[in-house]
Structures are given as structure tokens and as C-alpha cells.
Structure 1
């Protein structure tokens, strides 16, 4: 039989994975420690039995490809995987597509005392002593926000009940049931995961961005900015405007259309003070043969088709914690090209700080 996994992630130390394992009869518990990955050493426990692995290349992808994936296939049945913070659940699920392993659920552990500060800060993993390898430039915010956003269920640890944290999680991961660690009933939590949960699946970068229909009305100072537009951004002005997405903002995700790069859709994603820009591939307006693209994407493009611009558009979703939504909207609106620039777009040569700054985003 194939393998079914429960992934448990979280930046802080916790024993939630062990409780999930104890509540899942017949399951196997797998845990990795990547603190010495830069030296090519990975420590792995399977039901408490330690194995020290030496990898020729100390990197996260090698750990997945050479150890975790074949291990999961070999174990079969139900496996609970306690992820090292350096192994983000989204990256693990992306890798699992290549093997006979099904994701039953992804559980994120959120510390009430530290999560919101982590999610809006700019500390790197390396500065916290959590970097997987030399040169790991990921921020703590990118990791903790990604863990919660990709979760099918959330377990809250620590005391207190911050309404701001609750409002952020309502908008970041609206479908995920949340339970307190001190009163955790694992079977009940797993049963509460609704239809439509990710269970390891990825959003289409060209699909709807408001996954799970988050509340759009502000609450406790937390708001959702849904920015759209049917003209390109001026690349220099957008480059200056992104500063508003890095202060008091938990998450930004969305598609970007730049003047000077009319055929390419860019993916912009921020968490706290960390920002990534990726290449989603071509707009369908720049493609002659649509047959190789998913039917859902073709249908969405047809539904929003503009006679002149085709499916090109701007769409960004921003979850704020303390930033002023109107200031974000204004900064993004002012970064769009003017009527005069739009009329001369084919003749102007735009200086583009984003050229060469982004990597290809696979199957976003």
C-alpha cells in the first residue's frame, strides 16, 4: 500500500507531533534534525531510533531526495513527520508529488507569544541559528507565515489569547481549524478539517488568490487589501512602492504585470520584511497555442479577457497587521503607468530593477 503522511511543522520546540503519533494507531514517527546540515550531517529518528546520515552535498533538497522521500515510500502506511524548521511543509509537499505518498493533513504549531512578532519581522533564520546551510537567506517571517498559510489545521501553544493573532490567522488560513495545545484532541482536530482543505495541494498562481474566502472586513486592526488593475506597473515606481509591503504587513501574494515585460507574469510574495519575486511564465495573451495549459486556467483567462490586454492584469492580496490599508492601495495605484506612459508603452524603454531579479516559479 502507499504511504499517507501527517506533516507537523512549527518554528518553536513542541511535542505536538508526538501527540499526533500517539493518537494515530499503527503510525510511525519520523523526525529530522538539520542543525549540522551545512557539514553534510543529518540526524533522523524513526520511532525513537537514531540514524546519523552523511550527505555528499549538505542541502535541504538532498535531504528530501536522498532520505525523506525514499524513507516514506519504504515505510508505507501512516507516517507522522515532525519537520525540522528548515523543511517547510510546502517544499516537502512539492517534492512528494514525485513519489507514491499522499498527504493526509499538514498541521502547523503556532506560538501565541512569538508568532506575530516573527511574522512581521525581518530576522533571518541564520540570525536565529536556524539556517539549514550557509547562504540560507530565508527570513523567520517567510517560514512561520508559510507554515500557517499552508496548514490544514493549527495548534496554538503558549498562554493568552491575542485577538490580533486570531484575526491574522482568520485571513491567512481561513479554512484551518484551530485548537489549543492544552486541550488538544487529535482525532477531533483531524475530523474538523473541512472539504476544500489543501492537504498538500498547491494554488495555481493564475487562479483565485482569496483561498478559502477569508473575511474581508477589518478586525482588531487587521485588514485584507485586494488590489487589482488592468494596466501595467511602471517597474521603477513599483520597486519603490514595495517598501509599503514590508512594514506592518504579514503577507502579500499575487500576480504582477510590468511595463517592459508584457509577455511575462511575475509572482510577488512577501512575509514580514522578506520579499520574493518569481516568474510564473507567459500570459495566455502572449501564447498562440493554449492546448498545453490547464482547462481551468483557459476558462479564467477567457472570463476576464480584455480585447486589448488579453488576460494581463494586476492582482495582489495583502494581509496587514499594523500597516494602513489606504496607504498600500495608494502606493500601488501610483506605481501603475500613467495614460501618457501607456500610450507610448511600445516606444519607451523602461528601466527595470526586476530584470534578472526573479527565478522561475514552478507550478505555483
Structure 2
């Protein structure tokens, strides 16, 4: 690890020596667009190395291109998994390239169907053993993610993002292309496409949008101050990151649905089809009546949807547990805390492209508990739950949390 010494002025008579770790910047290129041209443009800069992995059906071939030429190296598959092989090789390679004096920036051109978010997470978290002279640790000891660049094929991206075609590994095409675009710091379109631009500005409002690979260096030099730079979000972050336009533009727009009462699990399950047609992305924190203390996270892209357990509501935690909660989550919860419900709520953000917002709102509102159901909380745990069986029955004191709440203003979208 290289260290840069600098002097910081403490007052007019004293100075202190600071040590600043110099980590090599990494730019990841992904997407279904012209990633080759983008990599070629970035490779022109002095001190830039471009890393690529290709699978020939038997082995993964890694290439590293610098000003002195290109070297290639075959790599045996790890457990028969191409993605695992690429990840393991890349993490070690990044640490080695950091030591080279002729390299000031590393550009990683990902394989077309690799998603950048898990790669960035691995750079920051997966401990690797490089060899003598290296301390075991993640690649982030030596490198930092400077930016994620996603290349968009303007002719096909929107159809892929709203479709339901599947990949061999179980993911859908929509989940990959939407995830690649949403995680980007810079989006490079091969040509202008009005409808695609409308969607991308709302899907990734913090990303710098530009047309043509030749402008990628300009885009990277002018990233937004709050751009991701490889940082993953979590289910408790604000659903509308950045400053996306909330005004509809033709049949493209953002819909935010919020409620202070839970969903009936069966009715919600039956209503979800409305989010799979004419919708690019749904991100939601859900409160189900059958799971009083648990947060469920829902995410959809095109015709694909997934659910996962996202921990417990802060109101269901002990004071000691809440002390370790994320400060931003705690602050957001405190701003809208309910005397009986705490932070329990429903919050859904939907990016529509063709769907009718009124149909979505009507379907979601109909899936909330009725006034009659709301007045019978002791029955909630017995509701049929088609979302899985990973939750123990709610505690017996559930009724005391909800019994005295007025029903006149519950279940409204806002």
C-alpha cells in the first residue's frame, strides 16, 4: 500500500503530518451496449489498464491491456461457475495491478450479463489471499470504485427492461438490464431515444447521461456529488434516491403509494400482476398483517419479481437493538413515528412505462386491510400467507398496538 504524506495547517504555528492512502481508481463498464468502444476510449488515457474476461466454453480467458500491449491468461473454472471464477480472479488481480508503477487507473470491462453491484460489493468485502508481501483482505485495501459506466443499446433496452424473458441462471433479462442501469454513475447511450431517456432519468437520477462512447471521459469528470461510486443501498433507504422528476411525461412516470395499515397477504399476492405489465421497476417496503413485526422487501423489474426478509421494524426492536440501527433509517422513522404503530408502514415506488397509475393504486388499496379486518388484529396471524413460512406467529401483545387507532385516515396513497 502506498502512502502520501501531506501537511495540514492546524493553526498558524503548528502543522501535523497526515497519511493518506492512495488507492488505485477502478472504473467498471457493463451493459448490453457498445462496451468495447467505451473501453477503447478509456484506454487512451496514460496509465490506464483494461481488464477483460471471456469464456470460450471451456476456460475463462483473462486479458490485461496497457500501453505496452495485451497479455492473456487462461483460468480454470472454479466449481464449474463462470461468475465465481471471474470474481475470484478479478479480486486478486486488482490488488496486484495496484502495485504496478505504470498503472494509475484500472478499467474492468465486465461480461455482458454480469451485474456491477455484486462485483462492487465483493471488492469492498470479500477477503482474498494474494501471496507473500500482501496482507489478507478485500481488494478495497488497494483500490476504490471510481465509477460504474453502463452502456445502453437504445434499440433494445426498453423492450428488455419491460419484458419477461429469462436467462439460463434463473434471472430475467429485465432484472439484469434494469439493475445495470440503476447502479450506474454514467449511462452511455449509443444514440438518442426519447422514451428510453425518460425512463433512465427516473430510474437512475444520480447518473450522468450522455450519448456516444467518445464522451465517456467528460461524463466521468462531471459525476454528480451523490453518485453511487459502487455503494450498495439497503431496503431501508429512501425509495426515491436523488431528485427524479415526479411529473408524468406521456406514459412514463413515478408513482409513490404509502399506507399506515398492513396488506392482507393473500389479496396482495393476487394484486401483484398489476406491477408486471407496463412497469419498469418497483421497489417496496411491505407490512403484512400476518407478519406484524417484520419488514418485507419487494423488488420487480419488467416481468420478474423477488421478495426477501428485510429485518424487523424499529418499533419491534429493544432499545439496545435500536441503538445499533442505521442513523439515517432511525432519523427517517422518527420524523414519521406513530404512537401505536411506530415505524410500521407500507411504502411502494413504481416506475411506470405504459401502465395506468390509477389501476395500480386501486389494486394496492384493495389489498390493504378493510376497516372490519383492522378492528380484529387477533386474527391477523391466521391469514393465509403465500409469501413463504419464515416467520413465527406475531406476539400476543399485537392487539394493544393497534386496538385504539382510528380507521378514518388509514390506507391512503400519498
TM-score (ref. length: structure 1): 0.89
Q: Distance in 1 between matches of 2:35 and 2:383?
A: 50
How far is 1:351 from its partner? 0.5
Superposed CA RMSD: 1.9
Give runs of aligned pairs for residues 41-56 of structure 1, distance below 5 A. Answer: 41-47=59-65, 48-56=70-78
How far is 1:60 from its partner? 5.6
Q: Distance in 2 between matches of 1:343 and 1:16?
A: 62
Contact 1:122 1:274 (C-alpha < 8 Å) held by counterparts: yes
How far is 1:175 from its partner? 2.1
Give the total of aligned pairs: 343
Q: Distance in 1 between matches of 2:346 and 2:76?
A: 46
Identify which range, 75-84 or 11-20, moves more after superposition.
11-20
How far is 1:55 from its partner? 2.6
Equivalent position of 2:388 in the other structure = 355
Equivalent position of 2:111 in the other structure = 84
How far is 1:355 from its partner? 1.6
After superposition, what is the alpha-carbon deviation per residue over 1:262-291, rounded to whole angstroms, capped at 9, x for unaligned? 111111000000101111111111100212
- 1:203 corresponds, among 233, 237, 243, to 233
Contact 2:279 2:354 (C-alpha < 8 Å) held by counterparts: yes
- 1:168 corresponds, among 183, 196, 199, to 199
User: Given the superposition, is the C-alpha separation of residues 357 and 188 from structure 1 closer, same or farther in structure 2, using an over 3 Å criterion?
Assistant: farther
- 1:259 corresponds, among 286, 289, 306, to 289
How far is 1:4 from its partner? 1.7
Q: Distance in 1 between matches of 2:222 and 2:315?
A: 41
1:104 aligns with 2:146: yes
Greater relative contact order (CA < 8 Å, ≥ 6 in sequence): 1
Give runs of aligned pairs for residues 208-247 of structure 1, distance below 5 A. Answer: 208-247=238-277
How far is 1:177 from its partner? 1.7
Q: Distance in 1 between matches of 2:209 and 2:309?
A: 34
Equivalent position of 1:344 in the other structure = 376
1:314 aligns with 2:335: no
Equivalent position of 2:323 in the other structure = 291
Q: Distance in 2 between matches of 1:51 and 1:286?
A: 53
Q: Structure 1: where are the runs of 5+ without partners?
A: 127-135, 359-364
- 1:3 corresponds, among 16, 21, 24, to 24
Equivalent position of 1:129 in the other structure = none
Contact 1:104 1:199 (C-alpha < 8 Å) held by counterparts: yes
How far is 1:339 from its partner? 1.4
After superposition, what is the alpha-carbon deviation per residue over 1:33-71, rounded to whole angstroms, capped at 9, x for unaligned? 2464xx6x3222111322221133133662355211111
Partner SS, residue 70 of structure 1: helix
Contact 1:31 1:83 (C-alpha < 8 Å) held by counterparts: yes
Q: Distance in 1 between matches of 2:78 and 2:207?
A: 38
Q: Distance in 2 between matches of 1:142 and 1:286?
A: 32
After superposition, what is the alpha-carbon deviation per residue over 1:92-114, rounded to whole angstroms, capped at 9, x for unaligned? 11111122231101111011100
Equivalent position of 1:362 in the other structure = none
TM-score (ref. length: structure 2): 0.79
Q: Distance in 1 between matches of 2:56 and 2:270?
A: 37
Identify which range, 74-83 or 8-17, moves more after superposition.
8-17
Equivalent position of 1:133 in the other structure = none
Contact 1:265 1:279 (C-alpha < 8 Å) held by counterparts: yes
Structure with the greater alpha carbon radius of gyration: 2
1:125 aligns with 2:167: yes
